[in-house]
């Protein structure tokens, strides 16, 4: 059965309401229109998905295949140009957050989301024609989630002979950082971006190359193709960061209750009603335990916090950092 969805929206760069419509006939085919963009995606087989996108006379085809343990991404273009302009890229980047989350839909939606992420971060001077491929096991092992905040050596150049050391990240993520992240800058920087904090060696090399040599340097262009597969297969580092935050909070939980009972004995700690993970604009995780009394215990960016509701809090205690669990 076909499913049609219509949503009227204001474009990020236009005062004219733009209607997004999409239709999914089955798990193997979907189409959408977000004027002036038209997109069609289909699963050609269990191992191959294809996306075709038309915008302002530019046609882009993105073919995604698994071949004997290798991911192969083939991108081609046709029309009056082979490059995106800033307005087209902005339109694509505005579209992606409006679509259903891939986790709740088919593999085809994963392909659509990842492909739009690639286009949202594509260097505008770079032709839309390339082939990117790698062994899946090699690609996944090149992730840098466990090495965020550590120094690493970026290597680029024809013979990989140019080397520069930088800190991966660093974390917590903030504007001007996120070295090694697959995407422009950081989440929250307010530019065409994607919603995942994927950090990989290929993206690290490209970031440092662009910083040192300039984004238009041909050597940075040469290694850009290596980053494309990472948008499809690299791990989202928030899976690691979220768990680290939860583990850190759990390790300090009993100490937090002990300190609270000692200094704030009137606070009711008898019943915890929920815990949650929140994010700031850069997707830095904040983990919070809530108690029925309104008391909260939280962890963010290597700091622990006690949140005591008014009027139960003595002067100077409400929402004040009590970094009692720091190593």
Q: Is 244 helix (H, G, I), strand (E, B) or coil?
A: helix
Ranges in the chain, pLDDT < 50: 1-17, 318-320
Helix (H) and strand (E) counts in the chain? 6, 15
Domain residue limits, the chain: 1-131, 142-236, 239-321
291 close to 272: Cβ distance less than 8 angstroms: yes
SS percent in the chain: helix, strand, coil, step 5: 30, 35, 35
Residue 303's contacts (CB-CB under 8 Å, 6 or more residues apart) are 321, 323, 326
Q: What is the pLDDT of residue 310?
A: 66
- Give the burial string for 153-190 (b: 16+ CB within 10 Å, else e): ebbbeeeeebeeebebbebbbbeebbbbbbbbbbbbbe
Q: What is the pLDDT of residue 45?
A: 92
CA–CA separation, 51 vs 35, rounded Å? 17
pTM of the model: 0.84
Q: What is the pLDDT of residue 53?
A: 97
Residue 190's contacts (CB-CB under 8 Å, 6 or more residues apart) are none
| Three-state secondary structure of 55-124 | ECCEEEEEEEEEECCEEEEEEEEEECCCCCCHHHHHHHHHHHHHCCCHHHCCHHHHHHHHHHHHHHCCCC
Q: What is the pLDDT of residue 223?
A: 87
Q: What is the pLDDT of residue 11?
A: 37
Q: Tell me how crowded residue 16 is: count the other CB atoms within 10 A of its CB.
A: 7
Q: What is the pLDDT of residue 117?
A: 92
H/E element, 260: helix 238-263
Which residues, listed in sequence order, are joined to residue 20 by a DSSP beta bridge? 7
């Amino acid at each position: 059965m076909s499913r049609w969805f219509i949503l009227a929206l204001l474009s990020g760069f236009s005062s004219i309401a733009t209607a997004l419509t999409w239709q999914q006939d089955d798990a193997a085919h979907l189409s959408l229109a977000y004027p002036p963009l038209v997109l069609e995606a289909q699963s050609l087989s269990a191992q191959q998905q294809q996306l075709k996108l038309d915008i302002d006379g530019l046609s882009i085809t993105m073919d995604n295949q698994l071949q004997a343990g290798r991911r192969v991404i083939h991108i081609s273009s046709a029309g009056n140009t082979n490059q995106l302009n800033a307005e087209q890229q902005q339109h694509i980047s505005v579209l992606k957050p409006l679509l259903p989350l891939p986790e709740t839909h088919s593999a085809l939606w994963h392909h659509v989301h990842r492909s739009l992420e690639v286009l949202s971060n594509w260097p505008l001077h770079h032709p839309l024609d390339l082939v990117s491929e790698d062994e899946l096991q090699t690609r996944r092992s090149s992730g840098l989630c466990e090495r965020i905040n550590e120094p690493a050596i970026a290597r680029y150049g024809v013979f990989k002979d140019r080397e520069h050391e930088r800190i991966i990240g660093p974390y917590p993520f903030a504007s001007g950082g996120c070295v090694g992240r697959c995407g422009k800058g950081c989440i929250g920087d307010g530019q065409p971006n994607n919603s995942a904090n994927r950090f990989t060696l290929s993206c690290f090399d490209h970031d440092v190359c662009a910083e040192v040599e300039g984004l238009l340097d041909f050597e940075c262009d040469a290694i850009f193709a290596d980053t494309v597969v990472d948008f499809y297969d690299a791990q989202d580092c928030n899976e690691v960061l979220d768990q680290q935050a939860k583990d850190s909070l759990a390790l300090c939980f009993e100490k937090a209750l002990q300190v609270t009972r000692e200094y704030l004995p009137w606070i009711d700690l008898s019943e915890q009603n929920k815990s949650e993970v929140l994010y700031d604009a850069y997707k830095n995780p904040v983990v919070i335990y809530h108690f029925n009394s309104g008391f909260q215990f939280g962890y963010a960016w290597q700091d622990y916090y006690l949140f005591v509701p008014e009027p139960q809090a003595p002067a100077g205690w409400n929402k004040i950092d009590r970094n009692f669990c720091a190593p």
